[in-house]
Structure 1
Amino acid sequence: MQTVRIGFMPLIDCAVIAVACERGLAERRGFRLVPSREPSWAAIRDHVAFGMLEAAHMLAPMPAAMTLGLGGPQIPMIAPLSLGRGGNAITVSEPLYAAMEAVDPAALTGPRALSARALARLVAERRGAARMRFAAVFPFSCHYYELRLWLAAGGVNPDRDVELVVIPPPRMVENLASGLVDGFCVGEPWNQHAVTQGLGRIVATKADIAPEAPEKVLGLRRLWSLENADIVTRLTEALVEAAAWADSHPAAVADLLAKEAWVGVPASLLLPCLEGTPRFGPQASLTPFPGYQGFCDGPTNVPRQEQVEWLIGQMILCGQCRDTAGETIRRIFTPV
């Protein structure tokens, strides 16, 4: 029985991989799926690039960056499947939230996409002081693009007014607690973790900033996928089945992801995200938010064309690639 090693990060949207592994969906299709919990997105990129993993849970821009040779070796990739939608949020520290509320309370009660207007007021007041520091999970991530879009919508220049750094998702909360960052954009459950510990508040979500944006995908080396076309077909079938099951069994998924081998946080932290009732602040009630986190995206989970176009636009806007790279990127996100 052929083995496929698949890397993942401890996030709620690794659920599709977790369900496929724990429910034996690969074995039913004649191959073995072996999960590998990874410490960072850079580790996933490198382990896929150098053949230590055959497949991986990836940020949607990662296969494009790898194919173009951005930030690492140039490795042609494909991303035939979406593994998750939603789940990202921007969380700021409690001291920063209090300062934003003091200078512009209306900005924090209006549309969340414009809540950075309060931050812009602070930046103006603190001109000449040390810049505030915000983290995203990887330079080639929708988190990075969404954080920049949120800042810019509020009148904050993301290149001049603040400092942007990269921190792996599981390390976000400890860096917020220590004061090394003032806020971050990360996938769940790490926003909920900061909120329930009284360390921060969610000021905007992916749905507020870029509802059309993709999120996580299945990343495969193009050469490996051509040499193992039958396995790739069976792998995608298993993951599509897992996505449908995960969307319809939120409590079971929460219990599964609570295991140390997967995400390793209490199920009580995971379930509100899966049920669409996240908490935005330490004293806030659970907020009805249908579709906050999900796994199915159409019957085949193939990344949609509008998602790919959004991604290309953001990579160009951030100066990560030229507009001539568009056609190369489009070919990455095609069904097998």
Structure 2
Amino acid sequence: MKHDHLITAGFVPLLDSALLVVAKERGFAAEQSIDLTLVRERSWATIRDRLAVSHFDVAHILGPMPIACNLGLTALASKMVVPMALGLGGNAVTVSAALWQAMADCGAANDLDAQRNGTALRQAIDRRRGEPLRFGVVHPYSGHNYELRYWLSASGIDPDRDMEIVILPPPDMGDALAAGVIDGYCAGEPWNTFGVLKRGARLATVKAAIWRSSPEKVLGVNAGWAGAHPEALSALLVAVYNASLWCSRPDNHEELASLLAMPAYVGRPAELLLPALKGVLPVSEGETLLVEDFFVPNAKAATFPWKSHALWFYTQMVRWGQVEHTPEHRKIAADTYRPDIYRDALTPLGIAMPSASSKVEGALRAETPVGSTGTLTLGPDGFFDGSLFDPDDVDGYISGQSRG
């Protein structure tokens, strides 16, 4: 088959690289005349740097990272756009057996409930003497960092005073926990499942419980490349969208786990990848729990780049002192996510997609049909503490946030 578009994409070996892997391996890229080269990287900083110097055209990347790059928060960074998300959810908070026991003594339960288990963690910290707890996240500009901090703060814990948050690559989390270097971590799969099944850890809660229907990885695109290759980018969005449909079908999960298990991709056994794909997660050794919306590759407009998601990430950058809040910074954050490119590329497919580019996060308490066709369902969404984020009132939201 003749390939009109040569595209190089970077990725980190995680479950949510699935859409790019499937686009290549199942032929969805080739169907769009794309020769897609996937390059595996160990760290998010390397992904960012190689996008900046045009080694990569696009990449599987942390949702907040392109915003941070556009705000000038990282030294080596090019302008980036986000024309597509790569799924909703996919993270969890994993803790050591010792910390779990302390939490259980304060009322924590194996149901992954963010409210109950956050309260138990606060009480366990209150009882604790000696060294403060240390938790790992994968990057300062990551959904992991912001959702962990949100959960802690809403539970009455100051993430900067009551504990220490350190940066570790995802594959190192379970080993650091087992060695006692950290007491817990927030990471993507398969590293929570690995921690539970291979390192004696426990699941405390999941992203889907902290902020329901929330974004994680996105397709980060070098803005210069996007401007010069609009047809190639549109073709890629079609390929990745078709891959998201394939990934969403339960009868493909076994094959998807086997694909991702290959050394070129995640390189871990399929049995560590299947739990998150099926939504049946090990919470402790020998005990599993069904979390239906743990990782959502296609449903609930999972690939749509909502500007309200970008703006919420921005409010957390402000909250934790990473950037000053100004009208210009707010605009840069909102303009990083590009639903217009998404719509232009995917409208010819005739799929249902949101007509709005932003939504009030937390407003949908139940699954809600939207749009004139009624074929698209959104929600439930929102934060475990019942708060709302209105993207039209960023100033009010920022002024109402506490540091802990």
When normalised by structure 2's length, the TM-score is: 0.78
Q: 1:316 aligns with which of 315, 318, 321?
A: 318
Matches for 1:240-251 after TM superposition, within 5 Å = 240-248=241-249, 249-251=252-254
* Aligned equivalent of 1:31, options 12, 28, 34: 34
Q: Distance in 2 between matches of 1:158 and 1:107?
A: 22
Which position in structure 2 is the counterpart of 1:289? 291
Which residue, out of 321, 326, 333, partners 1:329?
A: 333
Match of 1:7 among 6, 10, 13: 10
Question: Corresponding residue for 1:190?
Answer: 191
The one of 9, 21, 46 equivalent to 1:43 is 46
What is the CA distance between 1:125 and its match in structure 2? 2.8
Cα distance, 1:185–1:106 mapped onto 2, change above 3 Å: closer
- Kindly state the Cα deviation for residue 172 of structure 1 after the two structures are TM-superposed: 1.0
Change (3 A) 1:96 1:203: same
Contact 2:51-2:59 at 8 Å conserved across structures:
yes
**What secondary structure sits across from 1:140 in the alignment?**
coil
Structure 1 residues 251 and 264, CA gap change in structure 2 (3 angstroms): same
SS in 2 for 1:105: coil
Alignment of 1:93-172 (within 5 A): 93-102=96-105, 104-106=106-108, 111-127=113-129, 129-172=130-173
**Percent same amino acid at aligned positions?**
38
CA distance in 2, matches of 1:201, 1:300: 28
Partner residue of 1:80 out of 78, 83, 86: 83
Counterpart of 2:60 in 1: which secondary structure? strand
**What residue identity is the alignment partner of 2:334?**
R
In 1, the alpha carbon distance for the partners of 2:56 and 2:111 equals 45
2:86 counterpart SS class: strand
RMSD (Å) for aligned C-alpha atoms? 1.8
Choose between structure 1 and 2 for higher RCO, CA contacts under 8 A separated by at least 6 residues: 1
One-letter code aligned to 1:143 = H
Measured against aligned partners, the alpha-carbon deviations of 1:144-174 in whole angstroms (never above 9, x if no partner) come to 0111112222222101111110111111111
Residue 300 of structure 1: how far off its partner (Å): 8.3
Distance verdict in 2 for CA 1:298–1:108, change over 3 Å: closer
- The equivalent position to 2:305 in structure 1, one of 300, 303, 306, is 303
Q: 1:130 Cα shift?
A: 1.7
The separation in 1 between residues aligned to 2:16 and 2:94, in whole angstroms, is 18
Tell me if structure 2 keeps the 8 A contact 1:213–1:311: no
Quote how far apart the aligned CAs of 1:302 are: 2.1
Distance 1:110 1:141, change over 3 A: closer
1:180 matched residue in structure 2: 181
Name the counterpart of 1:274.
277
- Contact 1:68–1:75 (Cα < 8 Å) also in 2: no
Deviation (angstroms), 1:7: 0.7
Q: CA deviation at 1:122?
A: 3.0
2 CA distance for matches of 1:82 and 1:226? Answer: 19
* Residue 71 (structure 1) aligns with: 74
How far the C-alpha of 1:98 sits from its partner, in A, is 1.4
Q: Cα deviation per residue 1:114-141 (whole Å; 9 max; x = unaligned)?
A: 41322322322335x2221100111001
Q: How big is the shift at 1:323?
A: 2.9
Give unmatched runs, 5+ long, in structure 1.
Answer: none
**Number of the residue aligned with 1:61:** 64
Q: Which residue of 2 aligns with 1:230?
A: 231
Shift of 1:208: 1.3
2:234 maps to a residue whose letter is T
The separation in 2 between residues aligned to 1:38 and 1:23, in whole angstroms, is: 22
Using the TM superposition, give the Cα deviation of residue 307 of structure 1 relative to its aligned residue in structure 2, in angstroms. 2.0
1-structure distance, mates of 2:123, 2:31: 57
Give the equivalent residue in structure 1 for 2:95. 92
Encode CA deviations 1:169-205: one digit per residue, 9 max, x unaligned. Answer: 1111111111111100001111011111252111111
CA contact (8 A) 1:212 1:306 kept: no
Deviates more, 1:265-274 or 1:289-298: 289-298
* Preserved CA contact (<8 Å) 1:5 1:36: yes
Report SS of the residue matched to 2:314: helix
Question: Partner amino acid for 1:70?
Answer: L
Letter in 2 for 1:182: D
Unmatched runs of 5 consecutive residues or more in structure 2: 342-404
Count of aligned positions:
333
CA distance in 1, matches of 2:256, 2:59: 19
1:113–1:204 contact (8 Å) kept in structure 2: no
User: Would you say the 8 A contact 2:118–2:152 is kept in 1?
Assistant: yes
Q: Distance in 2 between matches of 1:329 and 1:287?
A: 36
